[in-house]
């Protein structure tokens, strides 16, 4: 079975995660996909396919005879899709022999425009998969799951020599909770890759350092008719706070290695409000500077409004995996060689975000990220290329063979 055929089945399971439920996994659909995958891995003949109480699917492919002492290699992907856009009732559409032009989706008047995405020309003549415009597709990261399962099938069917492979599919990556309950020691891999990126042949071993910032502002609320010299409007104080941050250091004005402050939510009234930010920077020093800037802004606003209360809570989320991969760059070298063997020109890319691999690297499992052949994640213009998914399976096969050698 080709990887995209598995993708077509997986995307029909609604695994959209949620930040609101407070349980693991955050949504019941992730259990449904997890059980489906356990059945598939059992049918393929992997060792001990199971799903634990935290909805993490694990299975192992024993080393072929003579390769028992090769380093155990892990491959991971995540079960959930992003909470930002609906993953319910996904209707995948297969566009064969794509002509390179605009892709008109049948619902909501949405169009994937070639002018907006010049790289689409690279997919001309290939098979492109989209949703119908009313949902996301779910290639993030069901394409990665499909590719890993297909790899296992090929390794077994073609009797390709390999060391021990450790497979895991985790829940709730999209809400930053994927590795919360992951048992690295029990997993058993010395090194791993997450298969959760975009372009095949691209390896990501750098990502943002990340923190969340919550600013709680309690104003002084009185009748506006008698407010002079007394009222402290929490919403206006919030504006003052935000104005103290660099206006150009926002997602819409940054790229590459440039970090940012992202005001993600502002809720409340004149009496009290809450601001929710995410803070990002690839450079650890600049990341620290950004956090310090927020602390100074909070202190400055508090000093200007002594009868109000401004509380800043900064919480680190994850760090740049690069520092943990410095001593095992063979992971990058072998991924590059594997891409070349698959006929691609490899490239490195710094993720403007994070993956499970970032946290796992700091948990003792060095874990760069590989592309899947999916694009435009987290929205209705998401798409995936069947042939590029085949290429990813080839890259994974090549990585496995390189470590076996």
pLDDT digits (tens, 9 = 90+) for 21-69: 999 999 999 999 999 999 999 999 999 999 999 999 999 999 999 999 9
Structural domain tally of the chain?
A: 2
User: Does 132 lie in the same domain as 21?
Assistant: yes
Which tens digits make up the pLDDT trace of 291-300? 999 999 999 9
DSSP letter for 64, please.
P
Query: Which contiguous run of DSSP H or E holds residue 243?
Result: helix 234-243
- The pLDDT confidence band at residue 346, using thresholds 50, 70 and 90, is very high
CB atoms inside a 10 Å sphere around CB 99: 12
Q: In the predicted model, is pLDDT for residue 327 greater than 80?
A: yes
User: Does 236 lie in the same domain as 110?
Assistant: no
Rounded to 5 degrees, φ, ψ at 29 are -60, -25
Cα–Cα distances in Å, from 105 out to 127, 142, 259?
15, 21, 34
User: Does 143 lie in the same domain as 22?
Assistant: yes
Q: In the predicted model, is pLDDT for residue 16 greater than 90?
A: yes
Is the full-model pTM beyond 0.75?
A: yes
* Cβ-proximal residues to 371 (8 Å cutoff; 6+ apart), any chain: 197, 198, 199, 200, 201, 202, 203, 392
- The pLDDT confidence band at residue 351, using thresholds 50, 70 and 90, is confident
**Strand duo 128-130 + 383-385: pairing:** antiparallel
Q: Which domain holds residue 111?
A: 3-207+320-404
User: Does 325 lie in the same domain as 236?
Assistant: no
pLDDT at 150: 98
Which tens digits make up the pLDDT trace of 216-257? 999 999 999 999 999 999 999 999 999 999 999 999 999 999
pLDDT at 294: 98
CA pair distance 175, 170, nearest whole angstrom: 12
- The pLDDT confidence band at residue 308, using thresholds 50, 70 and 90, is very high
Identify the active-site residue in 40, 153, 173, 388: 173
User: Does 364 lie in the same domain as 215?
Assistant: no
Q: For residue 173, give the 3-state DSSP assignment.
A: helix
User: Does 335 lie in the same domain as 284?
Assistant: no
Q: For residue 266, give the 3-state DSSP assignment.
A: strand
Question: At which of 317, 332, 358 does a domain end?
Answer: 317
- The pLDDT confidence band at residue 283, using thresholds 50, 70 and 90, is very high
Q: In the predicted model, is pLDDT for residue 303 greater than 90?
A: yes
User: Does 181 lie in the same domain as 324?
Assistant: yes
Q: In the predicted model, is pLDDT for residue 176 greater than 90?
A: no
Q: In the predicted model, is pLDDT for residue 329 greater than 90?
A: yes
173 is catalytic: yes
CA pair distance 338, 333, nearest whole angstrom: 9
pLDDT at 74: 98
* Tokens 């995410």 -> residue: 278
Question: At which of 294, 317, 340 does a domain end?
Answer: 317
The CATH number that applies at residue 269 is 3.30.70.360
Q: In the predicted model, is pLDDT for residue 270 greater than 90?
A: yes
CA pair distance 147, 279, nearest whole angstrom: 32
Q: Cα-Cα-Cα-Cα dihedral of 47, 3, 377, 196, to 10°?
A: 40
The CATH number that applies at residue 369 is 3.40.630.10
pLDDT at 349: 87
pLDDT at 210: 93
- The pLDDT confidence band at residue 86, using thresholds 50, 70 and 90, is very high
Q: In the predicted model, is pLDDT for residue 354 greater than 80?
A: no
User: Does 198 lie in the same domain as 341?
Assistant: yes
DSSP letter for 225, please.
G
- The pLDDT confidence band at residue 355, using thresholds 50, 70 and 90, is confident
User: Does 45 lie in the same domain as 188?
Assistant: yes
Tell me what the pLDDT averaged over the chain comes to.
96
Question: At which of 260, 289, 317 does a domain end?
Answer: 317
Q: Output the DSSP codes for 273-324.
A: EEEEEEEEESSHHHHHHHHHHHHHHHHHHHHH-TTSEEEEEEEEEE--THHH
Q: In the predicted model, is pLDDT for residue 156 greater than 90?
A: yes
- The pLDDT confidence band at residue 405, using thresholds 50, 70 and 90, is confident
pLDDT at 379: 95
The token pair at 126 is: 């290939």
The token pair at 222 is: 């009185």
User: Does 16 lie in the same domain as 98?
Assistant: yes
pLDDT at 356: 86
pLDDT at 280: 97
CA pair distance 329, 327, nearest whole angstrom: 6
Instruction: Compute CA 78 distance to the chain's CA centroid, rounded to the nearest angstrom.
Output: 8
Q: Are 175 and 83 in contact (CB under 8 A)?
A: yes
User: Does 221 lie in the same domain as 157?
Assistant: no
Report the candidate in 371, 17, 30, 345 with the shortest Cα–Cα distance to residue 193.
371
CA pair distance 33, 13, nearest whole angstrom: 6
Peptide bond into 368 cis (omega under 30): no
Q: Output the DSSP codes for 142-166.
A: HHHHHHHHHHHHHHHHTT-----EE
Which tens digits make up the pLDDT trace of 88-137? 999 999 999 999 999 999 999 999 999 999 999 999 999 999 999 999 99
User: Does 309 lie in the same domain as 355?
Assistant: no
């Amino acid at each position: 079975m080709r990887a995209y055929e598995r993708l077509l089945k997986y995307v029909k399971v609604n695994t959209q995660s949620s930040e609101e439920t407070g349980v693991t996994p955050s949504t019941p659909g992730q259990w449904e996909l997890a059980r489906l995958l356990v059945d598939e891995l059992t049918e393929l003949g992997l060792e001990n396919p199971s799903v634990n109480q935290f909805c993490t699917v694990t299975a192992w492919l024993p080393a072929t005879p003579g390769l028992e002492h090769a380093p155990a290699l892990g491959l991971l992907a995540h079960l959930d899709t992003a909470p930002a856009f609906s993953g319910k009732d996904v209707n995948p559409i297969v566009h064969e022999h794509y002509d390179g032009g605009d892709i008109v989706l049948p619902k909501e008047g949405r169009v994937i425009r070639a002018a907006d995405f010049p790289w689409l020309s690279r997919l001309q003549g290939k098979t492109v998969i989209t949703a119908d415009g009313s949902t996301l597709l779910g290639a993030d990261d069901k394409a990665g799951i499909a590719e890993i399962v297909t790899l296992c099938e090929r390794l077994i069917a073609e009797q390709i020599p390999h060391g021990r492979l450790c497979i895991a599919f985790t829940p709730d990556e999209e809400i930053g909770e994927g590795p919360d309950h992951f048992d690295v020691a029990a997993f058993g891999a010395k090194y791993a890759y997450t298969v959760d990126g975009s372009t095949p042949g691209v390896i990501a071993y750098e990502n943002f350092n990340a923190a969340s910032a919550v600013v709680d502002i309690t104003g002084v609320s009185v009748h506006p008719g008698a407010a002079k010299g007394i009222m402290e409007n929490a919403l206006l104080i919030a504006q003052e706070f935000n104005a103290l941050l660099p206006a150009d250091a926002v997602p819409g004005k940054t790229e590459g290695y440039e970090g940012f402050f992202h005001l993600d939510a502002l809720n409340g009234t004149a009496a009290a409000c809450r601001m929710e930010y995410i803070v990002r920077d690839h450079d650890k020093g600049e990341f620290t500077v950004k956090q310090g800037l927020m602390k100074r802004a909070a202190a400055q606003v508090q000093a200007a409004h002594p009868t109000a209360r401004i509380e800043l809570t900064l919480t680190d989320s994850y760090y740049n995996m690069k520092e943990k991969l410095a001593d095992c760059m063979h992971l990058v070298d072998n991924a590059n060689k594997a891409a070349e063997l698959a006929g691609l020109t490899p490239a490195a890319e710094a993720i403007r975000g994070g993956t499970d691999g970032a946290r796992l690297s700091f948990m003792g499992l060095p874990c760069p990220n590989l592309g899947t052949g999916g694009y435009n994640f987290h929205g209705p213009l998401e798409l995936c290329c069947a042939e590029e998914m085949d290429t990813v399976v080839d890259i994974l096969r090549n990585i496995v063979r390189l470590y076996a050698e």
